[in-house]
Amino acid sequence: MFEVFANLGLGFTVALTLKNIGLCFLGCLIGTLVGVLPGVGPVATIAILLPVTLSLDPTGALIMLAGIYYGAQYGGSTTAILVNIPGEATAVVTALDGHQMARNGQGGLALGLAAIGSFIAGTVATIVIAAVGVPMTRFGLLFGPAEYFSLMIMGLVLAVVLAHGSILKAVSMIAVGVLLSCIGADMETGRERMTFDLPMLHDGIEFVVIAMGIFGFAEIFKNLADPEKRDVVRGSIGRLWPTWTELKQNFAPMLRGTALGSILGVLPGNGAILGPFASYAVEKRLSKTPELFGKGMPAAVAGPESANNAGAQTSFIPLLTLGLPPNAVMALMVGAMMIQGIVPGPQVIERNPDLFWGLIASMWIGNLMLVIINLPLIGLWVKLLQIPYRLLFPGIVVFCCIGLFSISNDPAQVIMAAIFGLVGFTLFKLGFEAAPLALGFVLGDLLEQKLRQALIISNGDPTTFLRSPLSAGLLLVAVIALVMAVLPTIKRSRDEVFVENS
């Protein structure tokens, strides 16, 4: 325990510099803004801002991007409660009772409980990450090429299992992502692969281009094609801070939500989304008045919002300790680290302790900032909710194009991102998720690298992946998860849940 707080002390000395505090505040402010404005989202925003991180040091860049991610979780609850439009997928559950509370004149109470629950969850999650960071990193050092290959296979399989809708579509998206990562020069021979003699493909495809295309530009196309209707609560939102009695009544739901979110956030395949749904189900089952759920129940806001923020933060655990991104946002974080020349994985804590512990400490600072940003400025966020999207997207497009061009001063990058934007929009219309494609692309290079290393070490013997107990165990988990996902009964229940949550 002493070691945990000593490491956090190192982190706070890094995070509390004036520059990093400013970047943390900027990230939280931008995150809240994109969470409040439906149709933007943290994935698209982080993709758009990746070129900006080139001018920042690695620690400051990751602190800002992390602030955008968990800041969007806060902002998404504001939109869900006041407008009944979840700014984030994880805020869907919050909208069920939060908006009813707002219609009943208790919007301020719902916002206050959401903010307090998120802060408590963020504090606990920060300590959890600090506590498990070192043991997980030591565990990660046991991994050789074969174990890393099996770990990434397991991560991709779990991403398929936890994806919404068709398993076949999720598998195809991951396969496309892996194939796209192979475009360009072979890592060993230098021969070109799948370039079709196009000069723009000779050096492969930049992750920023794909991310900004399938998330940034595609999100713009989606919002222009189907603009949302906003019904902002016009009446008084009431008091923001709960009474001591209301806080005591909702403290247990906050703790249960924090525990559920912390556990589920670690799962690959965006397991953090499951946290709020699981918390809502638990609170409804434990409640003495389950019939009031859906009509403005405070516990149905406090619990899921705590799970939401806890899951957002613990999703950093597999990224920082094993180098395995559990969701699309973490895949973008991997891209940001690689742009800075940092290879994610267990070596980060040894080679870049300032970055590792500084990022963790900044999460608690960011959560404190978010309480200050969200509640006193609620009037400003309500005003922003009334801005039509048609006035926002031209500025977003210009910013995207400037960022893309600045990477290599090559207009082809902008053209490729636009093409991927159309591809992302088409995938959305056909019911395909873009997140598995991004995960496949990010892990594709590492997957090929570890596969080749393992086969070279074993003189081409494919059984090397089964001779290591750890590697064989990871592959076994992947096979079991995939078999369970394709069983008819499990598949039917998955489809029913997806219909209910849509």
Alpha carbon distance 467, 149 (integer Å): 13
pTM over 0.85? The answer is no
For residue 10, the one-letter residue type is: L
Q: Name 217's Cβ contacts closer than 8 Å, sequence gap at least 6.
A: 397, 400, 417, 418, 420, 421, 422, 424, 425
3-state secondary structure 309-336: HHHHHHCHHHHHHHCCCCCHHHHHHHHH
Question: What is the rounded distance in angstroms from the CA atom of residue 412 to the CA atom of residue 116?
Answer: 47
For residue 172, CA distances in Å to 176, 177, 186 come to 6, 9, 23
Are the CB atoms for 214 and 424 separated by under 8 Å?
A: yes
Cα distances (angstroms) measured from residue 265 to each of 138, 248, 404: 21, 26, 31
DSSP H or E run through 224: helix 218-225
**For residues 464 and 454, is the Cβ–Cβ distance under 8 A?**
yes
For residues 429-458, b (16+ Cβ closer than 10 Å) or e, as one string? eeebbbbbbbbbbbbbbbbbebbeebbeee
What pLDDT score does 258 carry?
A: 92
pLDDT at 255: 92
Burial of 260 (0-12, 13-18, 19+ CB in 10 A): buried
449 close to 149: Cβ distance less than 8 angstroms: no
pLDDT of 435 reads 72
Close Cβ partners of 444 (under 8 Å, ≥ 6 residues apart): 177, 178, 179, 180, 181, 182
Two tokens at 488? 């008819």
Q: Residue 262 belongs to what domain range?
A: 2-501
Residues 6+ apart with CB under 8 A from 409: none
- CA distance linking residue 452 with residue 446, whole number of Å: 10
- CA-to-CA dists, residue 321 to 19, 224, 451, 471, angstroms: 26, 39, 20, 17
pLDDT at res. 33: 80
pLDDT given for residue 22 in this prediction:
92
Give the total number of structural domains in the chain: 1
Q: State the Cα–Cα distance between residues 253 and 302, nearest whole angstrom.
A: 6
Task: Say if residues 213 and 424 touch (Cβ distance below 8 Å).
Answer: yes
Q: Work out the end-to-end distance of the chain between its first and last CA atoms, rounded to an integer number of angstroms.
A: 43
- Which DSSP string do the residues of 73-84 spell out, in sequence order? HHHHHHHHHHHS
CB 108 within 8 A of CB 324: no
Which tokens sit at 248?
């005591």
Q: Tell me, what's the pLDDT at 498?
A: 47
Q: Is 267 exposed, middle or buried (0-12, 13-18, 19+ CB in 10 A)?
A: buried
Burial class (CB in 10 A: 0-12, 13-18, 19+), 241: middle
Which one, of 290, 314, 288, 330, lies nearest residue 442 by Cα?
A: 330
Apex 47 CA angle, 335 and 322, nearest 5: 30
Query: Are 475 and 469 in contact, with CB atoms under 8 Å apart?
Result: no
CA dist 434 and 85 (Å) reads 21
Report the candidate in 151, 132, 64, 70 with the shortest Cα–Cα distance to residue 340: 64
Size (the chain), residues = 502
| Residue whose C-alpha is closest to residue 49's, from 32, 70, 26 | 26
Per-residue pLDDT of the chain (502 residues; tens, 9 = 90+): 667 778 888 889 999 999 999 999 998 888 888 777 655 667 767 777 777 777 888 888 889 888 888 887 777 777 777 776 665 566 667 877 888 888 888 888 888 888 888 889 888 888 888 888 777 777 767 778 888 888 888 877 877 766 666 778 888 888 888 888 888 877 677 678 887 777 777 777 877 788 778 877 787 787 777 765 555 555 566 677 788 888 888 899 999 999 988 888 777 655 566 778 788 888 888 888 888 887 888 888 888 888 888 888 888 888 877 777 777 777 778 778 877 778 777 777 778 888 888 888 898 898 888 887 777 777 676 677 666 666 767 776 776 777 677 666 778 778 888 888 888 888 888 888 777 787 788 778 778 888 888 888 888 888 888 888 888 888 898 888 778 777 654 445 545 544 454 4
